[in-house]
Copies of this chain bind each other. A is one copy, B any other.
């Protein structure tokens, strides 16, 4: 019989439940054997959707990771705890697929080089981004020079994102980190930041001020090799989720998702021609998450390389944090080629 990766799911919230289902039903080389959640509502869901398929349920994370034969864990719990959970899993000898961010685990991961530890930057598994990368790699656009990339979410009129801002790390760390990771992928992960500038607005959620966060933000990152990245993140979109990336080279450019669309339907009526846009990132990236689960399982079973290095996940978070600092302080931050700060202006907010 086929050998399958025995994996557990930690956290069964919106994204955690999707990871669990993907490993349960859409990852032929994996077997979801356990799941953990401290939440009674999530547990009830799991009793219906996971348990009948032979998944053992836990309300204690530490117990779950000791389950006999367990080889890996996918962590989709609250951001505040998943670093700790990831470290525990590694100490237990488990491979880890963890939702971003994962900034603190590097030293631990280095102590367990045989373990696969991956932060879930799902766009790396998206067919369109991969096609764009291949086209760039084949030289279609000459020398890539500029990236413009945005993560823009449909406006959620509830207060959810205000409270979320208390611990999210700020919009650049929470949202643009995806675009920054793409930049490391397309420009090469050895690029070094030279300068960072950022600006933000609170156009629809003025209460974000209490956590020094913003509902729209823009930043530019200049690298020491002369390349430049321009990021935009927003939680204000009326039309839906719109992640767009543009890679501009000396001989051409590539766009990914320049014309967002929910499906292949166009409606022609008195208003003109209308197409709908996905309401959420899962509507855009569902197949990328499935690919991620499958490739993670394969890497663990076959001991092959993962498509993204843990170190990059950390680097992406660091750049996001630099942008967030420039944004909050209203300064331009400059680094030398060794990555040390060389100057900054602490301009009083005028």
| 0 or 1 for each of A124-152: is its CB under 8 Å from B? (1 = yes) | 00011001100100001111011010000
| 0 or 1 for each of A246-277: is its CB under 8 Å from B? (1 = yes) | 00101111111111111111111111111111
Chain A residues in the interface with B (C-beta under 8 A): 1-2, 24-26, 28, 52-54, 127-128, 131-132, 135, 140-143, 145-146, 148, 194-195, 197, 199, 201-204, 216, 218, 220, 222, 226-228, 230, 232, 234, 236-240, 242, 248, 250-277, 330-332, 334, 336-337, 342-345, 347, 350
Residues of chain B with a CB closer than 8 A to A148's CB: 232
Could you say how many copies of this chain the assembly holds? Answer: 4
Contact B274 A264 (CB under 8 A): no
Contact A274 B273 (CB under 8 A): yes
Contact B276 A272 (CB under 8 A): yes
Contact B197 A332 (CB under 8 A): yes
A234-B248, A277-B272 are known contacts. Are A199 and B218 too (CB-CB below 8 A)? no
Expressed in whole angstroms, the minimum distance between the Cβ of A350 and any Cβ of chain B is: 5
Residues of chain B with a CB closer than 8 A to A1's CB: 52-54
A218-B228, A232-B148, A248-B234 are known contacts. Are A254 and B274 too (CB-CB below 8 A)? no
Residues of chain B with a CB closer than 8 A to A202's CB: 226
Assembled-state Cα–Cα distance A142/B268 (Å)? 12
Contact B251 A238 (CB under 8 A): yes
Contact B256 A268 (CB under 8 A): no
Contact B239 A270 (CB under 8 A): yes
Assembled-state Cα–Cα distance A350/B203 (Å)? 36
Residues of chain B with a CB closer than 8 A to A135's CB: 265, 267
Contact B258 A239 (CB under 8 A): no
Assembled-state Cα–Cα distance A24/B2 (Å)? 13
Contact A330 B195 (CB under 8 A): yes
Expressed in whole angstroms, the minimum distance between the Cβ of A270 and any Cβ of chain B is: 5
Contact B128 A218 (CB under 8 A): no
Residues of chain B with a CB closer than 8 A to A145's CB: 201, 203, 216, 236
Contact of A140 among B237, B253, B269, B276 (CB under 8 A): B269
Residues of chain B with a CB closer than 8 A to A228's CB: 199, 201, 216, 218
A28-B24, A199-B195, A230-B218 are known contacts. Are A128 and B265 too (CB-CB below 8 A)? yes
